[in-house]
């Protein structure tokens, strides 16, 4: 019994090296499948464009949307609700919004029932994040 206690104490006090620390921590998993998100984006294309040649349509261009302040894409006429929402799009805010846009921003012009499936939202986010503010694809 003493040997077990002593062995445990020695192991617990053993300093961890950088390699030990790295293996002790899990690397963050990539979330979402951009190819599946691209397929899902086909339903968004009725109103939105993305990519280098994207233009505002019924909805604003979605290039670089994550990290952008809501209601600020140049040349698009947003609802006052969207412009004054105070939102800066990040993963969590986008997830909440895309599930039920009118619940997140009452008065938004976006008429969309929402996407309820978290996996589909992961995929859509992975697809959108591929595009920087100019519409160029960036490596993830």
27-31, 50-54, 117-121: the lowest-pLDDT one: 27-31
Query: What 3-state class would DSSP assign to 126?
Result: helix
At residue 24, the pLDDT reads: 43
Residue 109 has pLDDT above 90, yes or no: yes
Place of tokens 């976006």: 110
Q: Answer yes or no: are the C-beta atoms of 63 and 135 closer than 8 Å.
A: yes
Closest CA to 32 of 114, 134, 130, 104: 130
The pLDDT tens digits of the residues spanning 50-86 come to 999 999 999 999 999 999 999 999 999 999 999 999 9
Residues near 116 by beta carbon (within 8 Å), at least 6 away in sequence: 99
This prediction's pTM: 0.77
In the chain, the domains with their CATH numbers are 31-128 (1.10.760.10)
Span 116-139, mean pLDDT?
96
Q: Answer yes or no: are the C-beta atoms of 68 and 133 closer than 8 Å.
A: yes
């Amino acid at each position: 019994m003493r040997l077990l206690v002593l062995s445990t104490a020695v192991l617990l006090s053993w300093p961890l090296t950088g390699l030990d620390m790295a293996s002790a921590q899990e690397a963050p998993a990539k979330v979402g499948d951009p190819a599946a998100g691209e397929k899902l984006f086909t339903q968004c294309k009725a109103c939105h464009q993305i990519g280098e040649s994207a233009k505002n349509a019924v909805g604003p261009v979605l290039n670089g949307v994550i990290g952008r302040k809501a209601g600020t894409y140049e040349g698009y006429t947003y609802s006052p609700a969207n412009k004054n929402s105070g939102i800066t799009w990040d993963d969590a805010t986008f997830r909440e919004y895309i599930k039920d846009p009118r619940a997140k921003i009452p008065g938004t012009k976006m008429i969309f029932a929402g996407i309820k499936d978290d996996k589909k939202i992961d995929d859509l986010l992975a697809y959108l994040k591929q595009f920087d503010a100019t519409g160029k694809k960036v490596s993830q």
